[in-house]
């Protein structure tokens, strides 16, 4: 089980130090949420923000693009130092082309689905992706409650992967805590994104340990 603390819940006035703190606490990936105010009703930050801290860290930068027509920004997101680039199937008419664009840049490619989107919407792209991100809240904000019905999709993705011998990691994002994290693990998730649970915990090492407990 990998843990990906979400930078959205970090202290932006002290970003480098706060990220170092979760790295020291045992983070596997750094999850980075880009929002455009259109695909989701919120704005966060652009690639130049994580570009500035990239040289100080070795861990995987896992960039989650909550952006309409992501094709226009994939190159910038890549150049700024992303390792995994995940785009939403709902945000593009050309998911296959956009996934190939990411792979041609030498990055790992992920596809994300909102809580209302079925697994069937990404079935044809599953053989091509390195990661599938199942949103367990409606994207746009940290600190929301986990939506239980999304667990069915995690299970479906685990079954499909096994049956067809696909290689993608299954990542869940939103409302992950000790309890919901365990449910995701049992359903077949490999990567837990956790924003508020890790960053707001009085002992972040303990928070990550709780999430990793298998
Ligand atoms: C929500 C983002 C998440 C968010 C998760 O749109 O994609 O990554 O930071 O925050 P928590 O873990 O607090 O729900
Ligand atoms: Zn995210």
Task: Report the CATH number that the domain containing residue 178 is assigned in CATH.
Answer: 3.20.20.70
Tell me the average pLDDT across 27-41: 98
Joined together, the tokens standing for residue 63 give 């960039």
> Per-residue pLDDT tens for 77-100?
999 999 999 999 999 999 999 999
Backbone angles phi, psi at 33, to 5 degrees: -100, 110
Tell me the average pLDDT across 130-135: 99
Question: Would you say 211 and 197 are in contact if contact means Cβ atoms under 8 Å apart?
Answer: yes
33 lines ligand 1 (CB under 6 A): yes
47 lines ligand 1 (CB under 6 A): no
Choose one of 9, 139, 173, 210 to mutate for the ligand 1 pocket test, by most ligand atoms within 8 angstroms of C-beta.
Answer: 173
pLDDT at 214: 65
Joined together, the tokens standing for residue 125 give 């792209």
pLDDT at 89: 98
> Which neighbouring-strand residues pair with 35?
66
CA distance 68 to 145: 24
Does the pLDDT value for residue 202 go beyond 80?
yes
What 3-state DSSP class applies to 180? helix
Number of structural domains (the chain) is: 1
| pTM exceeds 0.95 | yes
Closest residue by Cα to residue 87 from 105, 72, 66, 106: 66
Banded model confidence at residue 213, pLDDT cuts 50, 70, 90:
confident
Phi-psi region of 66 (alpha: psi -120 to 50; beta: other; left: phi over 0): beta
Domain extent, residue 81, equals 2-213
Among the bound ligands, the one closest to the CA of 175 = 1
> Per-residue pLDDT tens for 147-199?
999 999 999 999 999 999 999 999 999 999 999 999 999 999 999 999 999 99
CA distance 63 to 115: 19
Choose one of 41, 138, 171, 174 to mutate for the ligand 1 pocket test, by most ligand atoms within 8 angstroms of C-beta.
Answer: 174
| Nearest atom of ligand 1 to the alpha carbon of 174 | 14
Joined together, the tokens standing for residue 72 give 């226009």
Across all residues in the chain, what is the average pLDDT?
A: 98
What 3-state DSSP class applies to 144? coil
Joined together, the tokens standing for residue 198 give 């890790």
């Amino acid at each position: 089980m990998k843990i990906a603390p979400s930078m959205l819940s970090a202290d932006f006035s002290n970003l480098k130090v706060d990220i170092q703190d979760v790295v020291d606490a045992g983070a596997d990936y750094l999850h980075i949420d880009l929002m455009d105010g259109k695909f989701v009703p919120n704005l966060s930050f652009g690639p130049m923000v994580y570009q500035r801290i990239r040289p100080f860290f070795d861990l995987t930068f896992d960039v989650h693009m909550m952006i309409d027509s992501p094709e226009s920004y994939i190159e910038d997101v890549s150049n700024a130092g992303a390792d995994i680039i995940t785009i939403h199937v709902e945000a593009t008419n050309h998911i296959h082309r956009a996934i190939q664009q990411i792979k041609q840049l030498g990055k790992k490619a992920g596809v994300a689905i909102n809580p209302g989107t079925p697994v069937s919407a990404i079935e044809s792209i599953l053989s091509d992706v390195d990661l599938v991100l199942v949103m367990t809240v409606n994207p746009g904000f940290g600190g929301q409650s986990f939506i239980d019905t999304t667990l069915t999709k995690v299970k479906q993705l685990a079954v499909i992967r096994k049956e067809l011998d696909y290689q993608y990691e299954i990542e869940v994002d939103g409302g992950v805590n000790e309890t919901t994290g365990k449910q995701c693990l049992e359903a077949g998730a490999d990567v837990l994104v956790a924003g508020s649970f890790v960053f707001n915990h009085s002992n972040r090492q303990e928070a990550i340990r709780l999430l990793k407990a298998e």
